[in-house]
A and B are shown apart, each in its own frame.
Chain A
Amino acid sequence: MADKSQVCSVWVGSETGILKGVSLSKKQAFNFCEMSCLSRDQEVCVLGWGDEHETEVLVGSVNGTVKTFSTEKGIFTETRQCGESTQGRFTGIAVTDSALITCVETGLLRVWKEGSTDTVEINAGTNVCRMRQNPSQRNQVATGGKENGLKVWDLERPETPIFTSKNVRNDWLDLRVPEWVRDMSFIPDSDKIVTCTGHHQVRVYDPASPQRRPVLEAHFGEYPLTALSLPANQDSVVVGNTHGELAILDLRKGLVRGCLKGLAGGVRGLQCHPSLPLVATCGLDRFLRVHSLEDRSLQHKVYLKSRLNCVLLSSKDLELSSSAVTGDVEEVKEEGGEVDEVWDTMEMINDQAKKRATDEEEAVVTGVEKTTKKRKVVK
């Protein structure tokens, strides 16, 4: 179990309560659960990293329990009861300095401190859809929901939010524009927050500016946007909607830069890789897909049998460079050789042999390359 979980680079939570780990380099998916005690009330609502080194995954379920899964040991190490199912589903989970922050749909945001049973509670309004933590300032969290605008809270001052957004002006018929914040994200290196709404709008708020209304508004599609993520190093944002349409929007002008194809069901979870131009999506069509952001092509597609709720990407390199290949190449170089041409040819042959070996490993799950190979065999 431990070696399986150490290889996994993508973690997915499903509606059946199973935590699935996917290793894209080995093209295999593993279920981490006990098959005997599965039930629908253990449905995974949120996934989060338990620590900065990404060795622990926090799994929040519908019945109010938060389980800690250790990626090194491959087992669930801890279970905490953080509320009941009557209080609503978890909409966000985060960790600061040994304290666990959870938020539920009814708006109750709680900070559970290690060791003590009392919690700091904040009422974030009703119908909260999402809670996210600021990655650079760990004590700031943002919440938003249906008819509940974006609010940024500082956990040290739990009474009032440090930023409350204001709804846009009435539209051309002088009617109030309905508000429905589905997901938000903090833009790194600045104070800004980008949100996506159930009315197919993407808005950028700037707490540093005097206006509380959105600084930028963009539209995409005709269906509610359910998930949002920021890729590394670019001022763009990737959004997904309930029809399975994924788009990359440019935040400078608010235009659609391109769409990612392949999804057939509503997007439930979306995350961009912290350093590589990759984005992982999971949704109701029971597939995990990894697209490349540069050429918008599908890199990996994994069938995971249950409807998927949330996805978590690790920061390590997802691609083919498994540790075995790099180790052997280094050994060849160390053995020494004066004739570079001979050494070059030898290395190339070794690499090809290794690549053939990795391809022939049995795959539970097929990547894009694997499907083409299978087609040739069938014909």
Chain B
Amino acid sequence: MEKSGLNLKATELRLGLPGSESPERGSDKNGNAAVILSLKSFVGSGAKRVFCDATDADAKWVFSVSEAAAGRLFSPRGGGSSNNNNNNHGKVHVGSDSGLGGPVLEDGNGACVAAQSPKPVMMVQDKKSHEIAPSKAQVVGWPPIRSYRKNTMSSQSSKNDDDSEAKLGLGCLYVKVSMDGAPYLRKVDLKTYSSYIDLSSALEKMFSCFTIVSGQCSSHNVPSRDGLSESRLMDLLHGSEYVLTYEDKDGDWMLVGDVPWEMFTDSCRRLRIMKSSDAIGLAPRAMEKCKNRN
């Protein structure tokens, strides 16, 4: 994907492994832009560690065991820019013949430690559909919660899905945020933000190299009420690596920033940080829909 003349340093998203320095931007030999995202950005309220001991104390792994099982899927697209970053500190053998019924991890001392038996992990971004990358593999019977409780709670939360994933009457509006190529979903409470700028900076912190939304939303041209204008949007789309989109109540995928903030929080069901190549088709539709609404 080519870069245009726009300043994209701020908007480029890069995928890399923890502890890696930001590699030089630029295309690898295939002419693809290197996509590096420091996994450190996924450190949430609790940093997660891989099952085995990390030999390098500085390289704090930030994904959990089930992620380790899917470690092979982390390699950046297009081959990646730093070769050594593709090696996990703990080797992961995924296979059903290990006798342990699950992936076996070697820790720094070479001792084998059993991880869980993984179900197939459905992680890879799907260019064709606008499916959110599904959440990670689940281990059978873990966490140990009775089926009755699991079914009851999940039916309660799927009911909430119908209501913009709002927990009824409790004044929060949790929506999932996924990013193409990232191993995690995050959740944000839209009620805690009062504008696109707020949301953008929060997401920026969450996915720390991510500054797309602020780019989308900063007003250079004639601002609309929320600091966004049509033409600016089109300009940005050509250049940025990623854009922020959302799925509305009708199940359509729209570009964030189109509509007034309140209308957005009312109709937003989930957010997705999508490769802009996937989003090109969106913009005109979004504009039309917005026009039709107004």
Tell whether A pairs with B.
no
